[in-house]
Structure 1
Amino acid sequence: MISTWRERRASRRNSKKNIVKGDLNMSLTVPTHFRCPISLELMKDPVTLCTGITYDRQSIETWVEAGNKKCPVTNQVLRSLELIPNHAIRRMIQDWCVQNRNMGIERIPTPRIPISPFEVSEIFSRITKASRGVDQDGCRVLVEKINNLGKESERNKSCIVSNGSAKVFAAAFESFAASSIEKTTGILEDILSSLTWMFPIDAEAQSHLGSRASLRCMVWFLKCGGISGRRNAVLVLKELSALDQRHIDALAEIEDVIEPLFKLIKEPICPTATKSALLVTYYLVSSSPRHSQITSKFANLGLVPLLVENLVEGEKSVCEKALAILDTICSYAEGREKAYNHALTMPVLVKKLLRVSNLATEFAVSVVWKLCKNEKRDKGGVIVEALQVGAFQKLLLLLQVGCSERSKEKATELLKLLNLQRMKSECIDTVDFKELRRPI
């Protein structure tokens, strides 16, 4: 009796796998040879392995990418990983779908054949030839073709990127940038847009994009380009700055880069562009050879109050980057003076302690420490303000929950500075107790 019940249950479970639901009151059994041996579902893009077994492309690609080197059905070692489209089975499946459309079965679309490495290399060689000859129209057609192929599927995009697309597009960008930016703006913008989905870029691509002509062109887009051009330019600059110090040094030599970066932060066009602009700004003020002059220019433009205002409602990533820049700018007297003059500086800094992230807390402690330590002794206004907004209690809590040694030293020194002013400002006049009743 038990074995019979188990057999019936197993047969019901297996029969469900072979059914495609159409209308509410009808069901349809899928022919076995139309189902993928891996997913047991109707194949949408049937392909055949060297072992002669047909699978759905997505299922077998996932199987191979996981590191399996044998055929799932025959267990034979795969001598070749080439997937041959099985057009006969695909047409039979499509015909079967059409015949059963009255049961709610939709016809599977004819799949596009993925691009091959050979085809990618051929297009790249034509792009290289067109860019060297400054053939803007010819190159633009080829770049658009690569973009369309990349949008078709993740497999196409992976094939394009793995075959060196970044260095080809970077070299083309440098060629057109070196000729005439105004005359080749269209193709330059198309190439920049393509580069943003080809990250990370290799060393050869970096060398092309980090050239003086390429950097000047990207700065030109920051100043004069449209919304997409400015966004793509700052994304590429962020990628370059994060990869190599030499690119930061070269970018710092371009005088025109400061104002458009400031404008991107002040008048945001999208969150990604704002974060990238903040990151490039941080690299320029913290590690470029001309960091003191660059910091002075940013401070005079009004970057300090702008960063403070961004901290008020900024998300985690924005707050961390804004605090990092503030920490660097407040290392200079000019930057601290701008911070002293803004009414929200201390309240916002103290509010961000222990509320955003460990990294943001460390930067906030450092900024508060620099402002309090470097204030003129006869003033004491910033220290009093820090006390009034709860800095003393926040710093005590920070020492209790734990932080880095560097932050611990700064927090301890801050507590000493605050305590001196605290003893003066928190003295209580005995007249305040005149209404209290003494215990008997």
Structure 2
Amino acid sequence: MAVSPDTLPPKKKREFIGTDERLLRSLLVRSRETCSLNPIPFVLYRNSNSIIRKTKLLTLLLEDLVVDRDVRSFPASAVLCFEELFILLHNVKTLIEDCKSTSKLWLLIQQQTVANKFYELTLELSTLIDIFPVKEMNLCLDVEETVNLIRKQCSKTDATVDERDINLKHDVLHKLDNIKREIVPQQSKLKEIFTRLQLNDSISCTDEIQILEEEVRNQEDEKSKADIVSLIGLVRYAKCVLYGESSPRIVRRRKFSSSADLTIPADFRCPISLDLMRDPVVVSTGQTYDRASITLWIESGHTTCPKTGQTLAHTETIPNLALRNLIVMWCREHRIPFESTEVKENVNGVTTNKTLIEATKMTVSFLLQKAKASQSLEMANRFVSELRALAKTDSNSRACIAEADGLPLLVKFLGSEHPNLQVNAVTTILNLSILEANKIKIMETDGVLNGVIEVLRTGATWEAKGNAAATIFSLTGVHAYRKKLGRKTRVIKGLMELAKNGPIGSKRDALVAILNLAGDRETVGKLLEVGVVEMASEVMDGLPEEGVTVLEAVVKKGGMAAITASFNVIRKLAMILRDGTERAQESAAATLVNICRKGGLEIVSELAAIPGIERVIWEVMGMGTGRGRRKAATLLRILRRWAAGLYGSPTAAYAAASASSTTATAVVLPG
């Protein structure tokens, strides 16, 4: 949480219900809560400890008032002081807790502003003690001495910051300036700084980075944003240089969940990637996608909405902030780290913050050198794991890794016998492929594409195969690469095998890649040759939305070969039309429309023979999505034209087909 002069709530009079004694006891409880806090350990210790000590004296005063006086009522001035003290103590408690939960480095940079806030609160306490009606209340001598002691303590307070904190801030700023001038920080000095701030391991550094990234989003001042982004670069570098070797072992002990281990709410998944959305945006049709996925779709030359098929009126996107906030809350509830897509305004996908750029270059250089020099696969895995995490953070990191010739090193590890090293290497390439400029490097760097395809076919784990499939999906975002990849039999067979036999997460990775490849007619022919329709039919049993979406794309581009192959799937599509989700119903209706239009009499007759099909279509027309309703209406018109004999079959045939619900060939839809 940000710490600023505006952190504390505006003062307002608190209404106490009940006697003055209850007011005093409530104030005593709040005072005890506040004085039980520990001072801020890493910076501003003297300032926070000073006000806590004064709160302890105030607690003694309140205890004396409760114990030594038969309290029934107080003068009005005393009641006012008590009410104001209650608000003051709340503000003291809030400020200390916020300082402890905010970024340590950012608090260090803001130290004078926060010290001033502690001083202001002390002055408020001094004022309230000065106007406290000691004489009117006939207090005993001990209580009067406590009041005088608090006054004396308050009078000695100032807004001075400890010299050690000032020097530490100077050291941090000096390190940032050196990095900006491309001077590598001295490791021993860096260690000293991070030890002082209690950033003692990879986990604490990772937490610090996440807090700083959240702070960037909360800031409105551009200079503050730039300063925080520079700090992020420093922490990333220090994390790798100081603690990088121990990261994989430590991370496994963290209590964070993985989104892959949870059932992600359907509304939080991107309809394109089927993954958790990190930056949801709305397109002109009203549909929401993850920014990276829809940008990739549009830049690939598509002019339609992927979900509805409608032509996009324009290609501008609007952030869906309400949905993003819900996703952030869900991630926090399930302890899933939420990475935003970027942390600063950028040009061509790469940040312009000089300090961050240089810090990232130093981090990448360090990790690549250590990975190359590793004497064991386990040691290499630790550094490649850090590269993987870095490549996931932002476009600047992806650009730096590729420009530092990281791809040839990663290719070396794709064929590793160490399962985790293979996973980390292919996942790093996947993360690098998000940046458009890196797609060219991946396709043109010797051995990279073949290495990814080999992992897809023979990877040591399903995770490695799934991430290889996701890399293929990312590369197919470029039209020319989609055609090139679609001509490779190894790619087609690898994706098909993964879609048939892989676990749910890996299946999804393969299916979205197949869906993208199905946008090319020539590739659809290859997919039909290896049984894509049969595969989609099998997938519909466990992943109906994904399976029917792939089938829709294949039928749309595959011509009569796809129609013929889809004949045996008609009844399964009818079942999905009735029992599937809205999105699955929409794709099923669209697929049936295409099959019926191109397949003619035999196809329509097969559909018409399904008992209750008209009622199912009517239900979709009434309660489906906009596109689903339109496709269902078209499907109903096709059936009625067939019943009217316009497809070459008499009306009686339709009646006979409808009456044959008890025959062996009919499929009765469950009620």
Structures share fold, TM-score greater than 0.5? yes
Counterparts of 1:204-283 in structure 2, within 5 Å, are 204-211=437-444, 213=446, 214-227=448-461, 228-241=463-476, 243-268=477-502, 270-283=503-516
Match of 2:555 among 327, 343, 348: 327
Q: Go from structure 1 to structure 2 and tell me whether the alpha carbon gap of 1:251 and 1:422 turns closer, same or farther (over 3 Å shift).
A: same
User: Secondary structure at the residue paired with 1:230?
Assistant: helix
2:97 paired residue number: 39
| Equivalent-residue separation in structure 1 for 2:36 and 2:388 (angstroms) | 35
In the other structure, the counterpart of 1:124 is 364
Paired amino acid for 2:510: A
Residue 383 of structure 2 is aligned with which of 145, 153, 169?
145
CA distance in 1, matches of 2:504, 2:464: 15
Structure 1: distance between partners of 2:459 and 2:99: 49
When residues 416 and 138 of structure 1 are mapped into structure 2, their CA distance, relative to the original with a 3 A threshold, is: farther
1:367-393 deviation per Cα after TM superposition (whole angstroms, max 9, x unaligned): 22333344464xx47624543243222
Q: What is the alpha-carbon root mean square deviation over aligned residues? A: 4.7
Q: Tell me the equivalent position of 2:408.
A: 175
Cα distance change on mapping 1:259 and 1:129 into 2, 3 Å: same
Number of aligned residue pairs: 363
Of 298, 307, 315, 2:527 maps to 298
* Pairing 1:23-422 to 2, within 5 Å after superposition: 37=95, 39=97, 46-47=104-105, 48-52=108-112, 53=114, 61=212, 62-63=214-215, 65-67=217-219, 81=228, 118-125=358-365, 137=374, 144-145=382-383, 147-148=385-386, 161=394, 163-165=396-398, 168-169=401-402, 172=405, 174-175=407-408, 190-196=424-430, 198=431, 201-211=434-444, 213=446, 214-227=448-461, 228-241=463-476, 243-268=477-502, 270-287=503-520, 291-292=521-522, 294-314=523-543, 316=545, 318-328=546-556, 331-340=558-567, 342=568, 345-353=569-577, 355-375=579-599, 377=601, 380=602, 383-401=605-623, 403-404=626-627, 407=631, 410-417=634-641, 419=643, 420=651, 421-422=653-654
Task: After superposition, give the CA deviation of every residue in 1:245-298 in whole Å (9 maximum; x if it has no partner).
Answer: 232122123232111111111111x322211211111222223xxx33x33332
C-alpha displacement of 1:309: 2.0
AA aligned to 2:622 is Q
Give CA deviations for 1:87-126 in whole Å, capped at 9, x if unaligned: xxxxxxxxxxxxxxxxxxxxxxxxxxxx986554223235
How far is the alpha carbon of 1:165 from its aligned partner? 3.1
CA distance in 1, matches of 2:366, 2:97: 40
- Ranges in structure 2 where 5+ consecutive residues have no aligned partner: 1-17, 39-47, 54-92, 116-196, 199-206, 235-354, 644-650, 661-671
**Contact kept? 1:136, 1:184, Cα under 8 Å:** no
- Contact 1:173–1:209 (8 Å) recurs in 2: no
- State the alpha-carbon separation in 2 of the partners of residues 64 and 179 from structure 1: 37
Letter in 2 for 1:321: T
Change in Cα spacing, 1:304 to 1:384, as seen in structure 2 (3 Å) is closer
Moved more, 59-68 or 386-395: 59-68
CA gap of 1:189–1:136, structure 2 versus 1, over 3 A, is farther
Percent identical: 13
Paired letter, 1:422: Y
Deviation (angstroms), 1:365: 1.6
Q: Distance between the aligned counterparts of 1:183 and 1:145, measured in 2? A: 15
Using the TM superposition, give the Cα deviation of residue 410 of structure 1 relative to its aligned residue in structure 2, in angstroms: 2.9
Secondary structure of the 2:439 match is helix
Q: Distance in 2 between matches of 1:60 and 1:399?
A: 48
**Residues 203, 255 of structure 1: CA spacing in aligned structure 2 closer, same or farther, 3 A cutoff?**
same
Structure 2 CA distance for partners of 1:164 and 1:79, relative to 1, 3 Å: closer
CA gap of 1:221–1:4, structure 2 versus 1, over 3 A, is same
The one-letter code of the counterpart of 1:350 is A
Deviation at 1:147, TM superposition (A): 2.5
Determine if contact 1:285/1:295 at 8 Å carries over to the other structure.
yes
Structure 1 residue 171, shift from structure 2 partner? 6.9
Name the CA distance, whole Å, in 2 between partners of 1:170 and 1:222.
Answer: 25
Contact 1:174 1:209 in 2 (8 A): yes
The answer to whether the Cα contact below 8 Å between 2:456 and 2:468 also exists between their aligned partners in 1 is yes
Q: Residues 396, 174 of structure 1: CA spacing in aligned structure 2 closer, same or farther, 3 A cutoff?
A: same
Alpha-carbon distance in 1 for matches of 2:548, 2:367: 40
CA separation in 2, counterparts of 1:176 and 1:300? 36
Do residues 5 (structure 1) and 237 (structure 2) align? Answer: no
Helix, strand or coil at the partner of 2:527: helix
